Structures are given as C-alpha cells and as structure tokens.
C-alpha cells in the first residue's frame, strides 16, 4: 500500500480572501502595503479584544469589591447592634442593682429612724418617769 502524501485542500477559500488576493496581485510594493495594512488591522483588532477582556475583568473585580464592601458593612452594623444590645443589658442590670440598693438603703434608714425614735422615747420615759 502506498501512501498519498499530496495535500489537497478540503475547503475552498472564502470569497473575500479570493477577492483580496486578486486585488493585491499588483506587484511587490502593493503587496507590502497590503501586508502592512493587514498587520495593522490585526494588531488593532487584537488590541481592542485585549481591552475588552481587561474591561470585563475590571468589572468583575469591581463587582466583587462592592460585594465585599457590602458584606463588611452589613457585618459591622450587625456587630454594632450586638454591642448596643449588650451595653443596654448591662446598663439595665446596673440600674436594677442601684434601684435595689437605694430601696434597701431607704428601708434601712426608716428602720434605723424608727429604732432611734423608740430608743429616744424609752430614754425620755426613763428619765422623766412617765409611763410609756
């Protein structure tokens, strides 16, 4: 079996390439100008695609940055609410303790005053000899 090493095109060239080839068959200098124009065109297309890719990546990065900022802000507000709640709870407990202390002090002062009054009355009765 012999192998056929000849290359046969599987597709025909597009119409615009065939037209460009026919237009460019004017010699070396026009061919060089067309080559330069094609290179510039491809360079421009490549640069624009690269800029579009950079824009897409930048947009993604900014979106992720905004999402991060939003989550951080939400977390900070949640933290602040918890701190306020804990401070409020501590303040409420402290105020209840102060209220109990002041009520106990007032009750103790009343009992002390009543005991002092009874002592003074008893002392006065003992000195004057009056019956209580």
pLDDT, tens only, 7-18: 444 445 455 544
Q: What is the pLDDT of residues 54-106, one digit of tens each?
A: 999 999 999 999 999 999 999 999 999 999 999 999 999 999 999 999 999 99
Tokens of 10: 């599987």
Using CA atoms, how far apart are residues 106 and 119, in angstroms rounded to an integer?
Answer: 20
| C-alpha distances in Å from residue 18, one per residue of 13, 120, 130 | 6, 130, 142
The residue assigned the tokens 């237009």 is: 23
Tokens of 6: 């000849």
């Amino acid at each position: 079996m012999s192998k056929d090493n000849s290359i046969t095109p599987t597709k025909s060239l597009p119409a615009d390439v065939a037209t460009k080839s026919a237009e460019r068959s004017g010699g070396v200098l026009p061919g060089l100008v067309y080559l330069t124009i094609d290179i510039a065109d491809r360079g421009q297309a490549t640069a624009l695609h690269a800029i579009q890719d950079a824009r897409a990546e930048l947009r993604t990065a900014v979106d992720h940055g905004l999402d991060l900022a939003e989550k951080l802000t939400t977390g900070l507000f949640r933290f602040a609410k918890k701190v306020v709640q804990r401070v409020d709870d501590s303040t409420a407990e402290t105020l209840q303790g102060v209220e109990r202390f002041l009520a106990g002090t007032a009750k103790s002062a009343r009992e002390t005053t009543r005991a002092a009054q009874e002592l003074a009355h008893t002392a006065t009765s003992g000195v004057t000899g009056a019956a209580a």
